[in-house]
Amino acid sequence: MTHRDLTIAEVLEDPLIRQVMRADRISVAGMANLLQDAALRQQRAEAVGRDAGHDLSVGLKPMARARLRPGTQADLR
């Protein structure tokens, strides 16, 4: 089975993600900005990695899965 990442539009339209956004009081615009910023940062890191002769996106994947410690919140504005 092949897995692919959701596009930003798919994330913003997903009913479960929308429910979590509502519960966390995250606006659609705020989430879109967060995802676009993350995508841009990943593209830049991958470009730097290509220029340096290695793939830095491999190092970004564990960060994307990292969980916050209990009692902390991410600033998603």
**The total number of structural domains that make up the chain:** 1
- The reported pLDDT for the residue numbered 28 is 95
Q: Would 35 be classed as within a structural domain?
A: yes
CA dist 28 and 35 (Å) reads 11
The packing angle between helices 57-65 and 28-52, to 10°, is 150
Helix (H, G, I), strand (E, B) or coil at 15: helix
Q: Would 38 be classed as within a structural domain?
A: yes
Q: Would 55 be classed as within a structural domain?
A: yes
Q: Would 74 be classed as within a structural domain?
A: no
CA dist 54 and 50 (Å) reads 6
CA dist 45 and 67 (Å) reads 21
- The reported pLDDT for the residue numbered 50 is 76
Q: Would 73 be classed as within a structural domain?
A: no
CA dist 21 and 4 (Å) reads 22
Q: Would 75 be classed as within a structural domain?
A: no
Q: Give residue 49's domain range.
A: 8-65
Q: Would 76 be classed as within a structural domain?
A: no
- The reported pLDDT for the residue numbered 18 is 96
- The reported pLDDT for the residue numbered 66 is 52
pTM over 0.95: no
Q: What is the pLDDT along the chain (77 residues), one digit of tens a residue?
A: 688 889 999 999 999 999 999 999 999 999 999 999 999 999 998 888 777 766 555 555 555 555 555 555 555 55
